[in-house]
């Protein structure tokens, strides 16, 4: 089973989307959406009923198991026609029907709920269906009961066109970043068919605007039809050309949908993180850094001060270390060590030092997520006796540095002293500037078709498809920040081994997030890091135990720790081997190399 972290804020944000004041125009989509829901919820209920029958008919033969999986695929396809509606207007129902097959953990109360829904049924049907027949029966009974009552959900339902259009643009992000990767149907591999159904729903709901003479409706229709054509032309999950789909259809569709909504004054943004002024989700400004970093924005003077402090050794207890000692720009802000050198100069820290590039584009900091913000992380490092080993007295003494004190005074004119809070704010602001988005991949997505090789393009398609890398390393940052709202960072249990000696695997002893929050699902759970610049940041994993990307790919290809035979009862990574060939793994590594940024090293450590 996989585990997931569901925040209360997500419910508040999404549930709060209902009830906004409508535009000063006649709304065209509410009635159409309601009728669409009635029709397709009935079809969904029928599909759930058929799945219930198939589960009841499970026997010790492959035919009945295949039949049940087929009916599950039908139910999933029916659900995808409704997903945009559930996710935006009724998120608890979306979680009920299609949450990941993980125990749900709610911070800060650590309330555990058993997972339920279609993804749980998939995990059981592809594990040992007969052994889990009773549990399968319980799962489908719950879904069957509620699916029959779905019409009651929309009693007195009200929504404006602005709300409905926002639900559609969020569904498109979901298609781009989740559905085509197989995120919620990894074993069935129905992701392309499901993306087709989601896109069909988008087209159907928006049809009244396409038929009338609205600004941009023609271009919008062109890319909607092109997206549907590509999704229908090849629905084989492993061979689907995701790069062609994105660059020639889905990303232009996202841009045209945004332009259309803006041109017709139908804008509504209930998300703190998503920037609807960006062309598409891969644009450098697609995500709002201040919202994720919990800051008020990036002030140039403050960022410059933060950069000075990042390299300032006087921040350490012995005056010999700076932030840049472990996060060296010329090494893509890592130190290339399995585990960084501690403050005493000879022992090692407990974990590998990850790159701080893109560190602002995540919701939790540190491998175990113990810091809620960059500022909190900086202060934690400053006062950790094994890291910077600083003190409040030492930091206040920085005013003896005349040049630094003057710079502080210019940035913080109302502050009489230099203190840890201001230092943390300044360094955190500098870190917010470290999201280059300047790799060959970024240039290719932006239109430079010479930027990537054929091997790298094949690697991208594998990464986002057969290899299932994109189901944890989510676009566009390729880290654990979960689409489409990008409100939370995912933690995964990989069953990470102590080293890359996979012939003699031993489970790493680090308990990860469990040491922060004493919840069983968090045992050996670690935040999913970005793979941007990973080609330059060896060694890998939280323990630095994997020397190169080949060993990392081998580990995943064999199903992680559980796939290697290590006892990891709560592993969230599928233990089923990926069956990637040697050439396919080489292509994936080539793609990861295409995620290497061109970063100017303007200043090196002192």
pLDDT tens per residue across span 333-359: 999 999 999 988 889 999 999 999 999
What does the pLDDT read at residue 584? 98
Q: Where are the beta strands (DSSP E) in 314-473?
A: none
pLDDT of 24 over the 90 cut: no
Domain ranges of the chain: 4-270, 292-431, 440-594
Q: pLDDT tens across 483-527, in order?
A: 999 999 999 999 999 999 999 999 999 999 999 988 888 999 999
Angstrom distance (rounded) from CA 303 to CA 602: 14
Angstrom distance (rounded) from CA 433 to CA 130: 53
What does the pLDDT read at residue 7? 35
What does the pLDDT read at residue 3? 37
What does the pLDDT read at residue 1? 38
What does the pLDDT read at residue 184? 94
Angstrom distance (rounded) from CA 201 to CA 195: 10
Q: pLDDT tens across 187-221, in order?
A: 999 999 999 999 999 999 999 999 877 787 899 99
Average pLDDT over residues 129-149: 95
Instruction: Give 20's pLDDT tier (boundaries 50, 70, 90).
Output: very low
Give CA separation, 61 vs 68, 72, 98, 164, in Å.
Answer: 11, 17, 27, 45
pLDDT of 103 over the 90 cut: no
pLDDT of 425 over the 90 cut: yes
Instruction: Give 18's pLDDT tier (boundaries 50, 70, 90).
Output: very low
Q: pLDDT tens across 372-393, in order?
A: 999 999 999 999 999 999 988 8
What does the pLDDT read at residue 599? 79
Which H/E stretch holds residue 492?
strand 491-492
Q: pLDDT tens across 61-80, in order?
A: 999 999 999 999 999 999 99
Over the range 210-225, which residues count as b (16 or more CB within 10 Å of their CB) and which as e? eeeeeebbebbbebbe
Q: pLDDT tens across 163-175, in order?
A: 999 999 999 999 9
pLDDT of 394 over the 90 cut: no
CATH 1.10.760.10 fits 292-431, yes or no: yes
Contact 99/119 with Cβ under 8 angstroms?
A: yes
pLDDT of 15 over the 90 cut: no
- Would you call 344 exposed, middle or buried from its count of C-beta atoms within 10 A (0-12, 13-18, 19+)? exposed
Q: Which residue stretches of 296-400 are H helix?
A: 300-310, 323-326, 374-383, 392-396
What does the pLDDT read at residue 111? 54
pLDDT of 56 over the 70 cut: yes
Instruction: Give 4's pLDDT tier (boundaries 50, 70, 90).
Output: very low
Average pLDDT over residues 318-334: 94
CATH topology identical between 4-270 and 292-431: no
Mean pLDDT of the chain: 91
Contact 365/377 with Cβ under 8 angstroms?
A: yes
pLDDT of 366 over the 90 cut: yes
Which structure tokens are listed for 529? Answer: 């890091």
Bridge-based pairing state of the strands 111-113 and 491-492: unpaired
Among residues 20, 78, 89, the alpha carbon closest in space to that of 50 is found at 78
What does the pLDDT read at residue 213? 72
Among residues 279, 231, 246, 249, the alpha carbon closest in space to that of 463 is found at 246
- Output 410 or 107, whichever has higher pLDDT: 410
What does the pLDDT read at residue 444? 98
Largest alpha-carbon pair distance within the chain?
Answer: 80
Contacts of 181 (CB under 8 A, 6+ apart): 191, 464, 465, 468, 470, 471
Strand partners, 328: 334
What does the pLDDT read at residue 212? 77
Which H/E stretch holds residue 56?
helix 30-56
Angstrom distance (rounded) from CA 2 to CA 469: 15
Angstrom distance (rounded) from CA 606 to CA 604: 6
Can you give the three-state secondary structure of 502-547, one letter per residue? CCCCCECCCCEHHHCCCCHHHCCEEECCCCCCHHHCCCECCCCCEC
pTM exceeding 0.85: yes
Angstrom distance (rounded) from CA 596 to CA 421: 33
DSSP 8-state code for residue 398: G
Which structure tokens are listed for 192? Answer: 């392309």
What does the pLDDT read at residue 414? 83
Q: How many CA atoms lie within 13 A of 550 on its CB side?
A: 5
Angstrom distance (rounded) from CA 39 to CA 423: 58
CB count within 10 Å of CB 241 equals: 17
According to CATH, the superfamily of the domain at 440-594 is: Cytochrome c-like domain (1.10.760.10)
Calculate the dihedral angle through the C-alpha atoms of 236, 239, 244, 245, rounding to the nearest 10 degrees: 20
Angstrom distance (rounded) from CA 456 to CA 586: 9
What does the pLDDT read at residue 416? 73
What does the pLDDT read at residue 17? 40
Q: The domain 4-270: what is its CATH number?
A: 1.20.1420.20
Which structure tokens are listed for 475? Answer: 């676009």
What does the pLDDT read at residue 9? 37
């Amino acid at each position: 089973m996989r585990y997931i972290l569901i925040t209360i804020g997500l419910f508040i944000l999404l549930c709060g989307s209902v009830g906004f004041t409508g535009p000063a125009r006649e709304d065209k989509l509410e009635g159409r959406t309601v009728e669409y829901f009635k029709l397709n919820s009935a079809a969904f209920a029928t599909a759930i009923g058929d799945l219930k029958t198939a589960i009841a008919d499970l026997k010790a033969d492959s035919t009945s198991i295949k039949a049940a999986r087929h009916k599950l695929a039908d139910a999933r396809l029916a659900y995808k026609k409704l997903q945009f509606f559930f996710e935006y207007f009724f998120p608890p129902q979306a979680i009920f029907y299609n949450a990941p097959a993980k125990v749900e953990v709610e911070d800060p109360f650590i309330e555990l709920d058993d997972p339920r829904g279609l993804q749980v049924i998939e995990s059981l049907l592809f594990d040992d269906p007969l052994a889990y027949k009773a549990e399968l029966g319980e799962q489908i009974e719950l879904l069957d009961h509620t699916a029959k009552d779905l019409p009651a959900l929309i009693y007195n339902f009200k929504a404006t066109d602005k709300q409905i259009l926002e639900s559609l643009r969020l569904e498109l992000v979901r298609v781009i970043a989740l559905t085509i990767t197989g995120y919620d149907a990894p074993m069935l591999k129905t992701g392309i068919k499901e993306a087709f159904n989601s896109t069909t729903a988008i087209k159907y709901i928006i049809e009244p605007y396409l038929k009338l003479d609205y600004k941009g409706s023609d271009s919008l229709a062109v890319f909607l039809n092109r997206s549907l054509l590509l999704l229908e032309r090849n629905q084989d999950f492993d061979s689907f050309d995701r790069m062609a789909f994105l660059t020639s259809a889905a990303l232009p569709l996202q841009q045209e949908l945004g332009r259309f909504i803006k041109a017709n004054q139908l804008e509504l943004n209930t998300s703190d993180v998503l920037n609807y002024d960006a062309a598409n989700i891969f644009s450098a400004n697609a995500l709002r850094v201040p919202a994720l970093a919990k800051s008020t924005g990036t002030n140039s003077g403050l960022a410059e001060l933060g950069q000075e402090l990042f390299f300032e050794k006087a921040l350490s207890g012995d005056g010999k270390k700076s932030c840049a000692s472990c996060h060296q720009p010329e090494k893509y802000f890592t130190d290339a060590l399995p585990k960084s050198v501690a403050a005493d100069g000879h022992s090692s820290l407990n974990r590998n030092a990850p790159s701080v590039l893109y560190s602002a584009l995540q919701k939790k900091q540190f491998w175990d997520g113990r810091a809620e913000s960059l500022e909190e992380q900086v202060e934690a490092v400053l006062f950790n006796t094994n890291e910077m080993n600083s003190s409040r007295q030492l930091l206040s003494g920085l005013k003896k540095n005349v040049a630094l004190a003057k710079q502080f005074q210019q940035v913080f004119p109302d502050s009489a002293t230099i203190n840890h809070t201001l230092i943390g704010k300044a360094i955190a602001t500098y870190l917010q500037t470290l999201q280059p988005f300047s790799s060959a991949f970024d240039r290719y997505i932006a239109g430079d078709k010479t930027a990537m090789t054929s091997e790298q393009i094949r690697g991208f398609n594998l990464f986002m498809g057969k290899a299932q890398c994109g189901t944890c390393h989510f676009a566009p940052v390729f880290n654990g920040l979960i689409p489409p709202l990008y409100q939370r960072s995912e933690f995964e249990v990989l069953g990470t081994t102590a080293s890359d000696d996979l012939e003699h695997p031993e489970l790493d002893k680090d308990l990860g997030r469990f040491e922060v929050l004493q919840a069983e699902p968090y045992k050996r759970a670690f935040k999913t890091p970005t793979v941007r610049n990973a080609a330059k940041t060896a060694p890998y994993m939280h323990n630095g135990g994997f020397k190169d990307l080949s060993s990392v790919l081998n580990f995943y290809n064999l199903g992680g720790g559980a796939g290697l035979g290590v006892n990891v009862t709560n592993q969230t990574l599928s233990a089923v081997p990926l069956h990637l060939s040697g050439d396919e793994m080489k292509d994936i590594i080539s793609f990861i190399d295409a995620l290497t940024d061109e970063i100017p090293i303007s200043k090196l450590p002192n």
